[in-house]
């Protein structure tokens, strides 16, 4: 079993979008996937399935406290060689942050039993440097960081990297950083280009060799709980599907070759 976390310290960066597509692609490739929604907004849960789902059946909160639950198998409206199961996120997850006796290490301790038989576990924590993000880093084998090339997004990357290094030092020395994935890039913006050039100069080994450009077709696909590369009518959606698929393929190749 391989576990990956999509982590960033600011909302709106494409974290849940990337988590969703990693889960879809993993299942498309024939793998058994468990997606764990650690965000109280439940975006990953909605992205994966737009129908009714019993959030009391497989609450992510049970991976930290109370009786252990098993993930819910999703019956998706398109064919996959593998499968996607989900642990659902909702506002009750705030209890993890507010209850001191709940340890950040609880997720790692309970995840192996919850995801028994899975090939891939995708963790989607909230976009804050709190207990749930730390818990995901402790439980993960790999971390990838999607970001929008804006100054306020990039400025916080140092704090996130410090947190990752702390977790590697103290709790999860095997955690491997895949890198930074530029998302929602404006191809016509010189400002975006300068930020990416600055990052490349400062951390040449961190930027992934592809990017995802700003296109409404990506959010449109998430609204219908389908990967953006399915039903690629229109040039914009075709390009978006190709970019997202390329990024996710690169990430999963990295995960499963090690």
2-256: what CATH class?
A: alpha beta
Quick one: pLDDT band at residue 232, thresholds 50, 70, 90?
A: low
Beta bridge partners of residue 181, listed in sequence order:
146
Domain ranges of the chain: 2-256
Cα 156–Cα 159–Cα 162 angle in degrees, nearest 5? 150
Quick one: pLDDT band at residue 142, thresholds 50, 70, 90?
A: very high
pLDDT exceeding 70 applies to what percent of the chain?
99
pLDDT value of position 124: 98
pLDDT value of position 211: 94
Least confidently predicted of 135-144, 175-184, 225-234, 246-255: 225-234
Helices (H) and strands (E) in the chain, counts: 10, 8
Give pLDDT tens digits for 237-252: 889 999 999 999 999 9
pLDDT value of position 216: 86
Give pLDDT tens digits for 39-97: 999 999 999 998 888 888 999 999 999 998 999 999 998 999 999 999 999 999 999 99
Sequence-distant (6+) residues with CB within 8 A of 65 are 95, 96, 99, 102, 106
Q: Where are the beta strands (DSSP E) in 162-206?
A: 176-185
pLDDT value of position 217: 87
Quick one: pLDDT band at residue 201, thresholds 50, 70, 90?
A: confident
**Mean pLDDT of all residues in 8-18:** 88
Mean pLDDT of the chain: 93
Residue 180: strand, helix, or coil: strand
**Mean pLDDT of all residues in 98-127:** 95
What's the rounded Cα separation, in Å, for the pair 118 and 98?
30
pLDDT value of position 206: 93
What's the rounded Cα separation, in Å, for the pair 173 and 169?
6
pLDDT value of position 258: 57
Q: What is the pTM of this model?
A: 0.95
Quick one: pLDDT band at residue 17, thresholds 50, 70, 90?
A: very high
Kind and range of the H or E run holding 168: helix 157-170
Contact 126, 133 (CB under 8 A): yes
pLDDT value of position 4: 98
**Mean pLDDT of all residues in 127-143:** 96
pLDDT value of position 188: 84
Burial (CB < 10 A; 0-12, 13-18, 19+), residue 149, is buried
């Amino acid at each position: 079993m391989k576990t990956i976390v999509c982590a960033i310290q600011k909302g709106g960066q494409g974290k849940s979008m990337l988590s969703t597509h990693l889960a879809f692609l993993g299942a498309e490739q024939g793998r058994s996937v468990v997606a764990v929604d650690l965000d109280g907004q439940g975006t990953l849960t909605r992205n994966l399935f737009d129908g009714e789902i019993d959030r009391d059946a497989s609450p992510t909160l049970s991976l930290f406290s109370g009786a252990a639950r098993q993930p819910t198998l999703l019956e998706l409206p398109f064919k996959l060689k593998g499968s996607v199961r989900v642990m659902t996120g909702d506002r009750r997850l705030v209890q993890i942050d507010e209850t001191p006796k709940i340890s950040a290490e609880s997720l790692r301790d309970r995840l192996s039993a919850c995801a028994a038989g899975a090939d891939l576990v995708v963790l989607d924590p909230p976009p804050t440097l709190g207990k749930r993000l730390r818990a995901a880093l402790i439980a993960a084998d790999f971390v990838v960081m999607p970001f929008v090339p804006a100054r306020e997004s990039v400025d916080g990357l140092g704090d996130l990297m410090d947190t990752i290094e702390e977790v590697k030092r103290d709790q999860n020395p095997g955690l491997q950083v895949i890198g930074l994935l530029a998302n929602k890039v404006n191809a016509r913006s010189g400002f975006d280009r300068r930020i990416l050039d600055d990052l490349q100069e400062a951390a040449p080994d961190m930027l992934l060799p592809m990017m995802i450009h700003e296109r409404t077709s990506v959010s449109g696909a998430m609204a219908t709980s389908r990967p953006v590369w399915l039903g690629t009518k229109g040039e914009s959606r075709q390009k978006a599907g190709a970019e997202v698929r390329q990024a996710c393929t690169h990430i999963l190749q990295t995960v499963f070759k090690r």
